[in-house]
């Protein structure tokens, strides 16, 4: 069993839809990161969360430490949001565990 | 501030050969992580270096090895290449505050 589970694996949405990607983890963590990987391989960090909620533009990330669960929301989705979104958790010893990613396609 | 840089960006090797991939973390970052991402698959942890020491390694055979230099740059070496080693190899460094992980653009390795 993976330490980090994401759902859904694949997601297709119409432009403008509200999107939610879920992440559950089974290890103790210091922080949770949401990453975005575009075709071609480059990965960028979107958020780092240790509690509560963060918002950046149309992206919102929440975490529930007690339930070991995080969600990434995209409001008013746009085709340029099409990418693979990866949940990663960092343990107390700075070891990272990665989900397998959610492939998002937003159709115009 | 320069990001994490990796070289080479693309390379083709023959089965049985050896390859060395290089990574320079962001200035001041002491932790370097190496990951393998085969086509269509998730990130698989290879190696983690911090302050010049190997802190942990993933479930890969010994022919995958590496080191970290005093300037915190790092090398990943793969000996006796096999076809299934074809993948994107990503290097990442962790900020001193541990707040953000930064990835390089990766090295695409094709083994033929």
pLDDT digits (tens, 9 = 90+) for A7-42: 999 999 999 999 999 999 999 998 999 999 988 778
pLDDT tens, position by position, A41-94: 789 999 999 999 999 999 999 999 999 999 999 999 999 999 999 999 998 777
What spatial distance separates the first Cα and last Cα of chain A, rounded to whole Å? Answer: 36
CA proximity to B108, closest of B4, B7, B5: B7
Q: Which residues contact B110 (CB under 8 A, 6 or more apart)?
A: B10, B11, B12, B13, B86
| Contact list, A86 vs chain B (CB under 8 Å) | 42-43
CB contact under 8 A, A42 and B106: yes
pLDDT of residue A62: 98
| Contact list, B35 vs chain A (CB under 8 Å) | 98
- Mutation for testing the B interface, residue in A9, A10, A29, A43 having most B CBs under 10 Å: A43
Residue of chain A minimizing CA distance to B92: A43
Do A105 and A38 meet the contact criterion of CB atoms below 8 Å apart?
no
Do A91 and A30 meet the contact criterion of CB atoms below 8 Å apart?
yes
CB contact under 8 A, B102 and A41: no
Residue of chain B minimizing CA distance to A84: B42
Report the alpha-carbon distance of residue B30 to residue B27 in Å, rounded.
8
The pLDDT confidence band at residue A1, using thresholds 50, 70 and 90, is low
| Contact list, B31 vs chain A (CB under 8 Å) | 94
CB contact under 8 A, A41 and B90: yes
Report the alpha-carbon distance of residue B23 to residue B67 in Å, rounded.
11
How is residue B98 written in tokens? 């541990």
- A17 to chain B nearest CA, in Å? 25
CA proximity to A100, closest of A35, A30, A32: A35
Mean pLDDT of all residues in B14-32? 95
CB contact under 8 A, A41 and B56: no
pLDDT of B108 > 80? The answer is yes
């Amino acid at each position: 069993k993976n330490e980090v589970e994401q759902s859904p694996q694949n997601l297709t949405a119409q432009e403008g839809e509200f999107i939610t990607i879920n992440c559950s983890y089974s290890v103790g963590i210091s922080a949770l990161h949401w990453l975005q990987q575009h075709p071609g391989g480059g990965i960028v960090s979107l958020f780092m969360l240790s509690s509560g909620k963060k918002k950046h533009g149309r992206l919102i990330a929440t975490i529930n430490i007690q339930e070991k669960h995080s969600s990434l929301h995209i409001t008013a989705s746009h085709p340029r949001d099409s990418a693979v979104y990866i949940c990663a958790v960092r343990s107390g010893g700075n070891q990272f565990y990665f989900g397998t990613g959610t492939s998002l396609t937003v159709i115009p | 501030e320069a990001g994490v840089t990796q070289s080479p960006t693309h390379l083709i090797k023959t089965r049985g050969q050896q390859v060395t991939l290089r990574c320079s973390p962001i200035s001041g970052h002491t932790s370097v992580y190496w990951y393998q991402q085969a086509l269509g698959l998730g990130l698989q942890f290879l190696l983690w270096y911090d302050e010049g020491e190997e802190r942990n390694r993933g479930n890969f055979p010994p022919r995958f090895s590496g080191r970290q230099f005093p300037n915190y740059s790092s090398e990943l070496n793969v000996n006796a290449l096999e076809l299934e080693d074809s993948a994107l190899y990503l290097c990442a460094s962790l900020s001193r505050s541990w707040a953000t992980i930064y990835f390089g653009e990766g090295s695409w390795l094709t083994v033929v």
